[in-house]
Structure 1
Amino acid sequence: MRADLQGIDLSQSSVLLPGAVAQAIVTLRAQIAQSLLRNDFTKGYTRARALDPTSAAQTASFLLYSSLTTVARRPGKDYSWTTNWPAEPLVGNAPTPATFQWTWAGFTLVFFGIGVVLVIFRLWIEPKAANETFEPVLRGFQTPTPSQKALWKYFLVVAGVLLVQILAGSIMAHYYSERENFYGIDVDHWLPFAF
């Protein structure tokens, strides 16, 4: 099966699939389309409410095609369209040498950039700052200005928004682990997971 999957030529507008692969794709497409249309709380999945049966089948086809790009080899190459990402030994995907080269090149450039910033700071910015004198900003408490007095409303709004964010985060965290209900409340009925 691995050789069949790797041998699929996705550069063509029409692809001839081996019988076993074609049957597996037809079966998986139907299963994925059905799973997109129903809740499966035991697996932690909530149905996609925006999909009808036709769009669910189209979404399943897209997901399967995307999966094939991770396995099917590029014409004339020994790696997939996604450069063997994700690495998966079952389908023969191992990181390519270029993956390691670009990873280390990226690390090197990041550390080099950090070094350049530190050198610029050390040579040109820090000496100027060492010669300056600063006046203390806080010399005791003064009477609040009118704008400072009006600011208490802003702090109440920010505190309220923070509490709403904490509540939403709590519901979402609970929703990830137990989709059936939120302490006995059927949240999925009132608030879809995607919201």
Structure 2
Amino acid sequence: PYEINRKGLSRSFQITNIFPKLSVFENLRCGVLWSLGYRYTFLRFLSRLDDANERTEVLLRQVGLERKRDVLAVNLTYAEQRALEIGVTIAGGASVILLDEPTAGMSKTETTHFINLIKEVTVGKTLLTVEHDMGVVFGLADKIAVVVYGEVIAFDTPEAVRANARVQEAYLGSPVADEQGGH
């Protein structure tokens, strides 16, 4: 996995995967250290690594957790833990970000906030997400691939996918009539 990450690919998991007994800052700094070429050693004092600490502070602001800087990750709300995981995912500077159901288990308000967060932190990067919440998909995607029973039945812009009769039939049971009563 670390070799894949070094090639510019990073991912988050469907089930939150953070270091619960480390602070928010320490979680983010773990991702930053490797991206800056530091290797874990007992000979370095992490507080003296100005470049890593500055980059971590930037990440804290990006994911909106600056007020939770010194809080242990285990004590964050679910949505905050997901935001922290996104921060760890982007900490290494990967150009391709994979997210597996990033908003699963979130309220509508949290989901809306999280869509905006994902958009902000993935600017200039390739984002690939697996998501079942169509509001999230349409809120994030430039292109959508719809898979039914392992077969790609559509790959297009959100507008074209929304209007696709095969997609409508697969997910709604029949094509949705347009305003004029046609299909």
TM class, shorter-length: under 0.3
TM-score under structure 1 length normalisation:
0.21
Which is richer in helix?
1
- Whose radius of gyration is greater, 1 or 2? 1
* Highest RCO, 1 vs 2 (Cα 8 Å, sep ≥ 6): 2
- The structure richer in strand per residue is 2
